[in-house]
Chains A and B, each alone.
Chain A
Amino acid sequence: MIEYFVAKRREPYETLAGKLILATSIMLFSGSLLIGFIFFKFNEDILMKNLRRHGRSEADLVSRAIHYGMLTAQYEAMQHTLEVLATSEDILDIQVLSPRGVTVFASDPETQGRTVKMSQPMAESIMGREPPPETITTKEGEKLLRFLLPIRNEPACFTAACHVHSERERVLGVLQTDFRTTAIELTRQQMFRGTLVFGAVAVLSASLMLILIFYRFVTRPVAELELGMKRLATGDLDTPINIKSRDEMGLLAETFNTMAQDIKRYRENMEDWTRSLQEEVDKKTAEIVNAHEQIINAEKLASLGRMAAGVAHELNSPLTGILTFTHLLKDRTPPDRKQDIEDLDLIIEQSERCTKIIKGMLGFARKGVSESMETDVNELLDATVEMVKNQIKFHNVQIWMEFVEDIPRLTIDPNQFQQVFLNLLTNAADAMDDRGSISIATRVVGEDPERYIEIEVTDTGPGIYPNNLDKIFEPFFTTKPVGQGTGLGLPVSYGIIKKHGGDMTVKSKVGEGTSFFVRLPLKKEGEETG
């Protein structure tokens, strides 16, 4: 993880600053060279001009200095003058040449008598014209500026006492003065060195400045940005990039921070969404599992129901036979044979119990079939109570009824609901050991549009233990002795009520009694029945 926070080492030329500095250096260096060159060229021209002018006047001076010597033919003095003049730093060599190119006098006596090579400027000067100064490189590589001044004939010459020259000669000789150009050369070198130094200094200082500027305004913010991005890559969205400047870097950092915040928000949204999705999935999964269990249960019950129905049907006929023949036998038994009659009654009673069990199983199997009609629940309860009153079981049971007046009619299957109420009453009587009181009440509860008819059956029995409360609606759950209860009464009833869109709840207090509440929805106003 830590390597994200260490900027990767780069070669200097790879960095932005390196590239910029290199480019600037090259530019600065070549720029200063160019400027130096131009400056030097300009300067050289001036120097050259100066040298020419200076050389010309000096050459003139030389010619004038030796003028008198020549006129007076004082050759020694002339030679001396030449030598003295040539000691000047600027002058390398002075020669007086004959029109034929023979050195007549020279500041360097050794060259006296030599013949110089004829050249174009020389020819011109012999003709009496003054050629422009000529640049010459010596054998030693020294650059010279050579002035050729024609020595013209004049009356003073041919009238001179020496009578060396006749009047007819136009040009008597040529004065050749060689000037050193060392000064220019020196300046050139100095300038070149100066330019180099200047360039180097400029490049160095510019680079330093650039490095500083770059470090302050680019490298540091970029490193900061880079670090920020790496933090982002590792998932840290909370640490913003700290660049406060108002330039593009600052803007970039700000944009980056905003982006990080956006990403963070999106990620949070996404996480929220994922979480709620997960919850939704879990919920739905639980629902599906539940529904699946219910389906399996229903399937189990259905096949159980089919089997029960088959068995029940098979049992009905033999039971009819048992009942018929027991009755016939009992009718034939003389009244004084009390024990026989009691025994036969027992057979009849037990057969009727069998009948009841079979009816229960059939009821369970036939939950699906229903014949609904508009029913007055009060009347149905009345009829049911009337039915049970005659049973021995209820002889010691008091039944109280408190019915709501003008009860709205319900579209239900009266036969199925008679079975429901019958089971509730029988359960109550069973629980109270056939003695006690049962109160039955009807009422209309709830507000439009969700109004219900509630039927309450309360007994004064022993109540139901809390851990049995969830089980009483399960098929085949019974606390009654084997053979007496099938445990189908409540589940069948519950199924019937649910099918009618209603619900059944139970409230019980051990030692005080039990209340069953059956709620059946009333059809909304204007809604068609059936």
Chain B
Amino acid sequence: MEPGKNILVIDDEEIVRISCTRTLGPEGYSIDTAEHCVEGLYKLKQKRYDLVLTDFKMPHIDGLELAAHIVAKYPETKIILFTGYSTEGTALRAVQQGIYHYMEKPFTPEALISVVKKALAG
């Protein structure tokens, strides 16, 4: 348990946002959600987040672009990308380069918790 860590979930799907909140909330994290990139970026400005969970594919702005932006602007914030498929080239390479963690969708609560823990620990 690492209480007090701030996590922001940016996903256009409400069910994903709720899933994350309901999975990670009991673990002691404080969770905020954003429906899209603009809202996400706005929230990032308001508060310091330890971790951002974002979908690789989202309307308007590509999750990868968003991630790059976050890495540049908030270096201390960790990022986990949700991907639909593990061989999604660019994302995979990014992960291999050690910049991001990634999470294959759909995921189970245990898988999400373990990846979040790993990301926050690393």
Complex interface residues of chain A between 404 and 440 (CB less than 8 A to chain B): 413, 415-416, 419
Q: How many Cβ-Cβ contacts under 8 Å join chain A to chain B?
A: 75
Interface residues on A, range: 20 to 34
Known: A366-B87, A369-B87, A371-B87. A324 touches B105 (CB 8 A): no
Question: What secondary structure prevails in chain A residues at the interface with B?
Answer: helix
Q: Is residue A362 contacting chain B, with contact meaning CB distance below 8 A? A: yes
A154 to B26, CA, bound (A): 201
In the complex, what's the smallest C-beta–C-beta distance from B103 to chain A, in angstroms?
Answer: 10
Contact B84 A321 (CB under 8 A): no
Footprint of A on B, CB under 8 Å? 11, 13, 15-16, 18-19, 22-23, 57, 84-89, 92-93, 105-110, 112
A230 to B107, CA, bound (A): 91
In the complex, what's the smallest C-beta–C-beta distance from A504 to chain B, in angstroms?
Answer: 19
Contact B109 A316 (CB under 8 A): no
Known: A320-B107, A327-B110. A369 touches B89 (CB 8 A): yes
Report A-chain residues with C-beta under 8 Å of the C-beta of B108: 323-324, 327, 348
Query: A102-124 CB contact bits vs B (8 Å, 1 = yes)?
Result: 00000000000000000000000
Among B92, B107, B109, B110, the one with the most A-chain Cβ atoms within 10 Å of its Cβ is B109
Contact A321 B89 (CB under 8 A): no
Residue of B nearest to A330 (CB): B109
Known: A327-B110, A371-B93. A312 touches B16 (CB 8 A): no
28 A-B contacts (beta carbon < 8 Å)? A313-B57, A316-B84, A316-B106, A317-B11, A317-B15, A317-B16, A319-B105, A319-B106, A320-B16, A320-B105, A320-B107, A321-B18, A322-B106, A323-B108, A324-B19, A324-B112, A325-B19, A328-B23, A355-B106, A358-B84, A359-B85, A362-B84, A369-B89, A370-B87, A371-B89, A415-B86, A415-B87, A415-B92
Q: Is residue A363 contacting chain B, with contact meaning CB distance below 8 A? A: yes
A413 to B88, CA, bound (A): 12
Q: Is residue A486 contacting chain B, with contact meaning CB distance below 8 A? A: no
Residue of A nearest to B109 (CB): A327
A419 to B22, CA, bound (A): 32
Q: Is residue A351 contacting chain B, with contact meaning CB distance below 8 A? A: yes
Residue of B nearest to A354 (CB): B106
Known: A318-B15, A415-B92. A312 touches B84 (CB 8 A): yes
Residue of B nearest to A348 (CB): B108
In the complex, what's the smallest C-beta–C-beta distance from A329 to chain B, in angstroms?
Answer: 11
Residue of B nearest to A362 (CB): B85
A313 to B105, CA, bound (A): 9
A309 to B92, CA, bound (A): 18
Report A-chain residues with C-beta under 8 Å of the C-beta of B109: 323-324, 327-328
Contact B110 A413 (CB under 8 A): no
Contact A370 B89 (CB under 8 A): yes
In the complex, what's the smallest C-beta–C-beta distance from A68 to chain B, in angstroms?
Answer: 168
Report B-chain residues with C-beta under 8 Å of the C-beta of A370: 87, 89
A321 to B23, CA, bound (A): 10
A413 to B15, CA, bound (A): 33
Residue of A nearest to B83 (CB): A316
Contact A416 B106 (CB under 8 A): no
Report A-chain residues with C-beta under 8 Å of the C-beta of B22: 324-325, 328
